[in-house]
Amino acid sequence: MSTVSAYFQLVRVGWILVREGVVSALPSDDLPPAIRFAKSFVGIFARNRAKSKKRSDRLAKAVERLGPSYVKIGQFLATRPDVVGVEFADDLSQLQDQMAFFPEAAAKASIAGSLGRPVEELYATFGAPIAAASIAQVHPAEIRTPEGRRKVAVKVVRPGVRQRFAHDIEAMYLVAHLQERFLRSHRRLRPVEVTKTLEQTTKVEMDLRLEAAALSEIAENTQNDPGFRVPTVDWERTGRDVITMEWIDGVKMSDVEGLKAAGHDLNALADTLIQSFLRHTLRDGFFHADMHPGNLFVDPKGMIVAVDMGIVGRLGKKERRFLAEILYGFITRDYIRVAEVHFEAGYVPGHHNVESFAQAIRAIGEPIHGQPAETISMGKLLTLLFEVTELFDMETRPELVMLQKTMVVVEGVSRILNPRFNMWKASEPVVGEWIRNNLGPKRIATDLKDGFKAALKLAEAAPEIAAKTEQFHHQLMQMSENGLRFDAETADAIGKAEARHNRSGRFALWIIALTLLFIAWAVT
């Protein structure tokens, strides 16, 4: 899509946001007077019925009008409060990913195209859709097995969604480039990189083979974990546009009364949920990043079953160690160590003072120690930490922000189940074990082992590195003796580019000259 088309798309988005009263409902704090006046002015174009709604409802209506792509964009930005602000992120997190069903015939055509076999051959029965989101919709079905028929869930990608998203993302790129160009304070947030992340994660989510792979990986990681599992994947009936998985008969975690009626222990479920999430994060470095109550079920055996693995997060060893040391530092009130970890990881630029940063960390940590443990939120703690790091030029770390946002959601679900949920007591068995294994004597052995592996790989690559170094040295010597030379094709391309540049320059000069002549004529 051209830049002109992107501008038209951006104008359309802006107009819908104005008409649904979203722009006029945005906070005016710290806005320049001119921007504040413009915001008040565009408020007169808002629909009358929109003015009586809450801001989150206005936003939901606007996104509904904009279409499925913007539901996904909104949900992604809800995980980035560092970019859109905490209040706006909360509004976006309330967006319901519930779209109109697309025709069953279109779903069957997508399945047949993706798997190369007709639906009637793949499934014994194939039912009408029961849930539809911005990316895909879900159908109940049955497959034939030696034991009889088995019920499955079939998720099918929405037709045309990839083309629509590719079109809509261009407007996001335009906004991101304008932010980086004209808003110096926003450069730290790297809006273009954020948009690239959005594009990549959504492309991954639209390839259901990758969601199936995520389910398979987390199933392997958690096969011996107590109280947690994910649906099994039917790989024979899974392709780019369709994933077939185990049908889950259970109660959604959002249905608290249903969980009670089924006889489940809500307090135990709350503990299991947070411990499972922390195991995935610290032990595996791979976690479900969309663990809202609608994606969590409790099966008849009391096992938590997580579905919809379209959005996942990964943390490397450095990030996991960073997270654990921060949490441990806050617990032990070792604020200097928390500050040092930020500098060691390279998250805070070295020109800042460690002691001054530790002072800012203390401002977060000290109030916590005066509160009852059940009122302290680990997710909110990380939120405050990221707010403080803005003062010290810490660049956005997308993987950490996604982790923080997911942790807030998981904590929220645990507290719905158990209003007196003690986050620190529930997480201690997992966090404590990880710290003992990775921040104590075992850490030295692990680091030595990793260092030995790296040295071995370097030794294996040494002959190839030496050969390439010798070749580069030879080329460098030739350049010093004979000068830099281009082949004929490269020289021709440079000549054509220079000619285009000269023509553009002459055209621009003619436009300027004609404009000056017109101004001179108008003045006289």
Considering the domain architecture, whether residues 298 and 435 belong to the same structural domain is answered as: yes
- pLDDT at position 515: 46
Kindly state whether residue 58 falls inside one of the protein's structural domains.
yes
Considering the domain architecture, whether residues 294 and 173 belong to the same structural domain is answered as: no
Burial 99-129 (b: 16+ CB within 10 A, else e): beebebeebbbbbbebbeeebeebbeebeeb
Kindly state whether residue 34 falls inside one of the protein's structural domains.
yes
Considering the domain architecture, whether residues 273 and 418 belong to the same structural domain is answered as: yes
Considering the domain architecture, whether residues 195 and 290 belong to the same structural domain is answered as: no
Provide the sign of the torsion angle of the four alpha carbons 290, 248, 251, 284, taken in this order. negative
> How many CB atoms are located within 10 Å of the residue 341 CB?
20
Domain region containing 318: 251-439
Q: Which of 386, 405, 439 is the last residue of a domain?
A: 439
Considering the domain architecture, whether residues 392 and 325 belong to the same structural domain is answered as: yes
Q: Which of 290, 334, 393, 450 is catalytic?
A: 290
Instruction: State the distance between the two ends of the chain, measured CA to CA, in whole angstroms.
Output: 44
Q: What is the pLDDT of residues 361-406, one digit of tens each?
A: 888 888 877 677 667 777 677 777 777 776 787 776 777 777 877 8
Q: Which of 416, 439, 462 is the last residue of a domain?
A: 439
- Beta strand spans in 96-165 (E): 125-126, 131-132, 136-145, 148-157
Q: What is the pLDDT of residues 412-431, one digit of tens each?
A: 889 889 988 887 788 888 88
Kindly state whether residue 220 falls inside one of the protein's structural domains.
no
Most confident of 53-62, 171-180, 336-345, 438-447: 336-345
Kindly state whether residue 518 falls inside one of the protein's structural domains.
no
Q: What is the average pLDDT value for the chain, to the nearest integer? A: 79
Considering the domain architecture, whether residues 266 and 373 belong to the same structural domain is answered as: yes
- Would you say the pTM of this structure is higher than 0.75? no
- pLDDT at position 237: 96
DSSP secondary structure of 181-239: HH-GGGGGG-HHHHHHHHHHHHHHHT-HHHHHHHHHHHHHHTTT-TTEE-PPEEEEEEE
Kindly state whether residue 229 falls inside one of the protein's structural domains.
no
Kindly state whether residue 173 falls inside one of the protein's structural domains.
yes
What is the percentage of the chain residues whose pLDDT exceeds 90? Answer: 27
- pLDDT at position 116: 94
Considering the domain architecture, whether residues 431 and 344 belong to the same structural domain is answered as: yes
Kindly state whether residue 244 falls inside one of the protein's structural domains.
no
Q: What is the pLDDT of residues 328-370, one digit of tens each?
A: 787 778 889 888 988 888 888 888 899 998 998 888 888 877 6
Please confirm, yes or no, whether 97 is among the known catalytic residues. Answer: no
CA distance 130 to 289: 23
